[in-house]
Amino acid sequence: MNRFYLVFIFYYLGACFSAAQSFQFVEATIGDIHKALQSGHVTCRDIVSGYMDRINYFDEDTKLNAITVINRGALAKADAIDEKIANGEKLGSLYCAPILVKDNFDTHDLPTTGGSIALKDNYPPDDAFMVRKLREADAIVIAKTNMAEWAFSPRKTKSSSYGTTANAYDLTRVPAGSSGGTASATAASFGVAGMGSDTGNSIRGPSSHLALFGIRSTIGLTSRDGIIPLAWDRDIAGPMTRSVEDGAKIFNVVAGYDPADPMTKFGKGKHKADYTKFLDKNGLKGKRIGVLRDLVFTEDADPAVTALFIQAVEDLKAAGAIIVDPFTIDNFAAHRDADNFCSRFRYDMHEYLKSLGPDAPIKDVMMVLETGQHTPDVRGGLESFGAGPLDVHPNDQNPPCMEYPNHEGRNAFKKDVLAAMDKHNVDVIIYPTWTNPPATLMRADQDYKGDNSQLIAPSTGLPAATVPMGYTHGNLPAGLQFLARDYQEDILFTVSYAYEQKTKHRRPPRRFPEIDRITQFAKVDIK
């Protein structure tokens, strides 16, 4: 092509894309999107297409592999929002917010695989409760994100449906599991925020490894309807965001009672009207914070992570918090090591597969062992998690494994945690989310250690959140975890926001900068 015409095309495209170029996609917040739209200089189509460009430009070429499928219908939704704006119509609180959704959330218009090739063509009949709430708030599902197969692994994010996801801060490292696709995609600014699920670690662990805010709410406050289960009375879903404020905005929309999830009857009436009202940069003043040394100074803790935690305690003090150290929980070691897990995956999956109707790709999750539709990595997990009966509720098994909140061992653990918090009069407990940096992809299983998220919140049903605590070994993120009493998510938002604003640790991964739209055009169409 003639050099003159190439230059002309570049200048022409520069004029065409000037509006979108004026918006900075890297680290943008929901508020930034709304301000840009209100200015009239940028359209919702510009915003959505810009994030799609980032996915197309970076995800495959870098081998990040965080995205499973882009929602091509997102542009039509963006156009509809632009029309609403032009007509002065009322908009939902998350209007034009491009959200990345983990591949175990039902989406009627996009495949939902749960990380399994057996469900590669699974189009559920309707949306998960949280997806429906996001769409009703005028958020846009821009893409689905990769996950660990059947959500088994907290170590890495590898599926038989879409492959392995890398860590956006270091492409040789893991993003943890199972919500690693959401974590890396959100960190790389492929959308404004993401949605993940957490049975033991899978919101907070990947959020820690990718310098995000992630919250696991109280069991009963949020619905799991339409989310492929791992252990139904431990599963939680929620936001993974680059800022605490965006986490609160999304939580406002997705939390609350859902008759399709009977567990939410326990949280009925306990949901705060607006969690953003608890975002106070001075919110740490007077807060009593217990340091759970049992999860800090462990034998295998990386000294660099421990040093960050010690500095975090100093930062909390400087922000006005009252530090209670040491903070101890009676019988902690016994509770931590107790076998309080019900083998219910096969039963829960049977219930989920029935919800897909007569066209469900499989009827029993254990069929994949016979068909070979799984990676070798998960065979042991399938045999272990799927050991229970197909259609007998855990309460009715022999011997019974009582469903939370009627599980004796889990209730005893929760009682001792709350008693310790009352004894020391603390508002929250803190510990590193991981005591080790992200493992390498090559040694994801061998070097798995330091995962603190598994140890209190899932068994007790108590809420916990992680927030960026800094970086080790140059650029590997670490997270600080706060744990609160049940239904005190408001306090989690307060202390997380105040710590975030005090320290401002979050920084974007260097490998995923702002892209020049003309450079991108040249890469795709001219090379």
Residue 502 falls in the annotated catalytic set: no
Report yes or no: 402 and 395 within 8 Å, Cβ to Cβ. Answer: yes
**Nearest residue to 360 (alpha-carbon basis) of 519, 228, 182:** 228
Report yes or no: 109 and 74 within 8 Å, Cβ to Cβ. Answer: no
**Nearest residue to 343 (alpha-carbon basis) of 411, 400, 277, 261:** 400
If DSSP codes are grouped into helix, strand and coil, which group holds residue 523? helix
Rounded Cα distance between 287 and 482, Å, is: 12
Q: Of 77, 102, 158, 502, which residue is the catalytic one?
A: 102
Phi, psi of 247 (to 5 degrees): -60, -40
Q: Provide the 8-state DSSP code for 87.
A: H
Residue 102 falls in the annotated catalytic set: yes
If DSSP codes are grouped into helix, strand and coil, which group holds residue 128? coil
Q: Of 153, 178, 453, 459, which residue is the catalytic one?
A: 178
Residue 394, preceding peptide bond in cis (omega within 30° of 0): no
User: What letter represents residue 264's amino acid?
Assistant: T
Burial label for 425, CB within 10 Å (0-12, 13-18, 19+), is: exposed
Rounded Cα distance between 214 and 191, Å, is: 15
Rounded Cα distance between 395 and 414, Å, is: 20
Residue 223 falls in the annotated catalytic set: no
Report yes or no: 51 and 32 within 8 Å, Cβ to Cβ. Answer: no
Q: Beta partners for 236?
A: 198
**Nearest residue to 79 (alpha-carbon basis) of 34, 120, 115, 49:** 49
Report yes or no: 151 and 160 within 8 Å, Cβ to Cβ. Answer: no
User: What letter represents residue 79's amino acid?
Assistant: D
Catalytic residue IDs: 102, 178, 202
